[in-house]
Amino acid sequence: MILSMTGFGRSEGVFDGKKITVDLKSLNSKSFDLNIKIPSRYREKEFEIRKMLNDRILRGKVDCYVNIESLDDSNDVTINHALLKSYMEELKQVAGDGPDFEYLKMAVRMPDAISTKSDQLSNDEFVFLQEMLHEAMTKFENFRKTEGEILQNELLTNIKKIESYLGQVEPYEEVRMEGVKERYRKSLNEFDQIDETRFYQEMAYYTEKLDIAEEKVRLAQHLKYYMEVMTDENFNGKKLGFISQEIGREINTLGSKANHAEIQKLVVMMKDDLEKVKEQTLNVL
């Protein structure tokens, strides 16, 4: 089945008074290209986070944003009042009488006078973050599946249209070759002496040169193969891209050999739909 490279997923959760939000979004890319923005407390786990994302997302230009928001009003700063007063008393004894504010400015710089809550990442919090990442990636994958279904229908429609135009070529083939023969006859009639053997040799040569039977067969096979890969293989974007290139080569050869106005019109319409196929294929995972 088709999966789109375009995706979006979000998860939210609360751990130890903190709201953690994970946002994932992606666009098409030839490889896995990750732009990640995470709080400094998770920086030590960045490699593990990148690997988790790469293992499931596989390909695409991906943006991952992790945000932390404090939900309580608690102060992370703790003042050790008893120790602070002790520092001030000691300073007064050494320096003598003076404004308390001056002693306070010196005391707050002393060890352990002011402490902050540890910002060290606990194992439980990282496990919780991993759960948030997996939840976001599950939603992200569901988005890709939904977009992929739409993309597959569009691709199938355009491939079927090319197939239909190819079927419309056949009625013009006999008329086309008769027209070519007639033009050569008129050109040869302008000469006084004609070697009929040479004439038929030349006709056989140009008939073979302008024959489009092989191109039609190969084009039909490529179209069929494209549909088979699209419906039967997973992560098939690159393979579909290669097949669409082969389809383009056969259509171009068909156009160069056509030598008929109506067939040329059909070739132009094939090319138009093939451009849509190529553009859509770029977004297939």
pLDDT digits (tens, 9 = 90+) for 219-265: 999 999 999 999 888 888 999 999 999 999 999 999 888 878 888 99
Higher pLDDT, 87 or 165: 165
Phi, psi of 192 (to 5 degrees): -75, -45
Which of 209, 223, 221 lies closest to 253, judged by CA? 209
pLDDT of residue 117: 58
Q: What is the pLDDT of residue 52?
A: 94
User: Pairing relation of β-strands 7-15 and 60-70?
Assistant: unpaired
Amino acid at 235: F
H or E element that contains 118:
none
Sign of CA dihedral 93, 97, 101, 106: negative
Phi-psi region at 283: left, alpha or beta (left = phi > 0; alpha = psi -120 to 50): alpha
Residue 115 has pLDDT above 70, yes or no: no
What's residue 208's pLDDT?
62
Query: How high is the pLDDT of residue 111?
Result: 77
Looking at per-residue pLDDT, the higher value among 81 and 51 belongs to 51
* Model confidence, pTM: 0.74
pLDDT at 9: 96
Greater model confidence, 108 or 60 = 60
Residue with token string 């597959």: 152
Query: For the segment 140-194, what is each residue's pLDDT rounded down to a tens digit?
Result: 999 999 999 999 999 999 999 999 999 998 888 777 766 666 666 666 666 656 6
What does the pLDDT read at residue 87?
Answer: 82
Q: Which two tokens stand for residue 261?
A: 């106005």
Q: Tens of pLDDT along 18-74? A: 899 999 999 999 899 999 999 888 989 999 999 999 999 999 999 999 998 878 665
CB environment 155-166: b (16+ within 10 A), e (fewer): bbebbebbbebb
How many residues belong to the chain? 285
Residues 6+ apart with CB under 8 A from 225: 243
Q: What was the pLDDT predicted at 57?
A: 93
CA distance 122 to 159: 54
